[in-house]
Structures are given as structure tokens and as C-alpha cells.
Amino acid sequence: MGFLFFVMVAGLVVFFWLKSSKTSQEQWQVAADQLNLAYYGGGLGSAGTISGSIDGHRITVSTFTKRSGNNSQTFTKYHIEYRQRLKTDMKMTKQGALHNLGKIFGLQDINVGNPAFDDRVLLRGSNPEAVRRVLTPELRDAVKLAIVSYDDCVITNEHICVNRRGRDSDAAVVVGTVRRLLKFCELMNASHNYTPKNTQVLDRHPAAVPPIPKAKEPPKIPVSEDPLPEIEAIEPSFDPYTTPRPIVPDPPMIPVDDEPDPVPAVPVAEDVPPPVSEPEPDVLDLKQTAEALFRAEDSGSALLASKVFDEKYKGRRIAGSGTVKRVGKISYDPVFGSIRGIKVALTVCEMDGAYSKIKVSAETIFPLDEFEKLKSLEDKPLHISGKLIAQDTMMRKLFVVDE
């Protein structure tokens, strides 16, 4: 009896394991299709591999397992090689207690002079001065954001590699992570053409350059030793100081009217009241806000959208419509916190970007009893309203809560 019970339990475990593996493979196929990448199914129990190229960046998404004694842990690995390799060698990882201990024994850590960056990022490189020149303030902010967002993140001058704990079996998570890392890769390649000012290019092989010939001195002009002949002085035929000047008659008088022409009066401009600026609307438009916020972000600064959001939009009322893409029940969310409800993701608008289309989405929370109604609205328009509480620069996403 005991043996049969053990066989039944083992069979159930294998059944659910195979079912979970099949679900992961289906979700990875969906993610690959959305990213226009290739998916290669794995063996029994494996999620497989997603690989391909987007805008010249080589992408690989896979899983691996770490074992320690009788315990094992699965990780999802995102590895992206930049379109262009940076010429300055560097490696950046997250600061840790072991790193602080290693510094005592000589572990290299290059400081860039920004405490917020230096306290979080362990930076190494063969040429510290060249590394500091490449890491512009904008790129430092992007590196710091990536290091803080992922516990296991390695950034070099060739690639970025992120290991997420667990198996990412949701297509939305895989697609979102890849797109966020692609945005970072674009910023890294933007620094590829960075050239510091007042930098001289030194010749590594001076002997190979022929020396510049020395200019020949001009021939000397022979000087005659014979003295110059004396020149007789010529007396003037008149005295310039006594010769009278010719008499010039005065010009004729021009008659002038006794009464001058009247001067036309200059009209006095009426006082024009200064233009009155229109007050900002009490309720923001969702689509207009998304376009204004993330079109500025696409112009070149990864953190510009965050700054504009904090100054102009955070905490204000907003309303608008979007197309429902995902509906799911949650009990906790990193942005909304501990809340039981229905999280709805909507596509707000789509704009032309520098490298690809920019899709802006929004997320909001509905009560649990509206699940069936919201589920039936997938791929259909939905009007939302509430307070704008946060935004995601990398994912181009707005977060709205009902007031």
C-alpha cells in the first residue's frame, strides 16, 4: 500500500511538472513571436531558447540551474551583445559586502566622482581615465538603474547579462525584460562615438613616419662695400609758408521758408494687456500625456521622462481610453503594493521612434467582482480615470489608481 501511494505521488509530481514545462514553452513561443525572434524548444522539462537579432543587438534568452548540495535553483538568463563593441575595456557589477572586503586587499574599483554611482557600482577597467570619459552622466544613470533593478547583472563594453531567479514563464515578463535591456544597449552604443575634447592622438610607431626635412636657408645677398654716392639737396622754388592761399567765394544762400512744415503727430499706441496664459486642465488626457512624456524620452535622454513626470504629472488626475491587452488577478504588485484586485494593461498609443515603434501602455486596478466583464473586453477599447502615481521610463508605461 505504501509503495502504491509513493508511485501515485510521484506520478502527480511528474504530471504537473510536465504541464508547467509545456506552459513555459508555449509562453516563450509567444514572446519570441512578439519580439520577432526565433524560438528553439528544449528537451523534457526545459523552456528552450529564444535567440536572434534586433537592431543589430544579438539576443539570447535561456535557463540554467545552479546546484549546491541537495538544493538547486533555476535562473532565467538574458544575454545581449551590443551592436557595436566599445573600445574601452570595462566591467560593472553591483557592490556587495565581499567587494568592500576585497578592496582592502587591493580589488580595483574606479571612482567617477559621483557618490550615488560609486557606492552602488563596482567598476573595473584597464584604463581608468578612458573609462571615466566614456561614462557620461546620462550613461552613469542608466548603468545605476540597471544595477539596482537586477540583483545579478554584469555590464561590460561588449554585452549586458542579467540572471533572474526562477523561470520566467510569462510572455509579458520575457518581452518586457528584453525591451528594457535593448533600451540600455542603445544608450551604451550612443556612447560609442563619444570623443573627449582636447584629446591628442599619439603615434604608436613614430619611427615609421619619415622626418620632416629641414628648410634651407635663403642665399645671402652680397653687399657692396663701396659707399653710396651723395645726393645733392634740391631747393624748393617757392616758400610754402609765404605763398598766399587762393580766395574761394562763399556759396550762394538758399532761401528758407519762415514757417517750417508741420511735423506729423505720432500716434500713441494704446495699452495692450499682456497675454493671459491658459490654466492647465484639471484632468489630463491620457494619450496626450503619454505622447508628451515619452516622445521627450526618445529624443536622447533616458532619464528626461522621469524628471518631466515628477515636475508636471505625478499625482494629477488623468482620464482616457486604450485597448485592453491583459487582464489578471493580483494580490501584490511592485508599484500598486499589497492590493487584491484586477490589474488591467492597456495600449494607449504608438509613435515613431529613432529605431522602432514606441508603444506606450498604462496599467490600473479594478475590483475583483469585475473580472469576467474586463476579461470579455480584451483587444477592445476601455475608458479609465484616476490619479497618475508612477511611470516606467524603460517600459514606457503609466500607472493609474482609482481615487
Segment 127-153, tens digit of pLDDT? 999 989 989 889 999 999 999 899 899
Q: Is the pLDDT of residue 302 over 80?
A: no
pLDDT, tens digit (0-9, with 9 covering 90-100), for 339-371: 889 999 999 998 876 556 788 899 999 999 999
pLDDT at 299: 43
Rounded mean pLDDT, 80-102: 82
Rounded mean pLDDT, 269-290: 74
Comparison of pLDDT for 103 and 137, the residue scoring more: 137
Tell me the pLDDT band of 396, cut-offs 50, 70 and 90: confident
CATH, domain range 283-401: 2.40.50
Tell me the pLDDT band of 3, cut-offs 50, 70 and 90: low
Rounded mean pLDDT, 165-182: 92
Lowest average pLDDT, out of 3-17, 104-118, 269-283, goes to 3-17
pTM: 0.47
Rounded mean pLDDT, 225-229: 53
Domain ranges of the chain: 18-193, 283-401
Comparison of pLDDT for 262 and 56, the residue scoring more: 56
Strands 397-401 and 357-366: parallel
Comparison of pLDDT for 45 and 49, the residue scoring more: 49
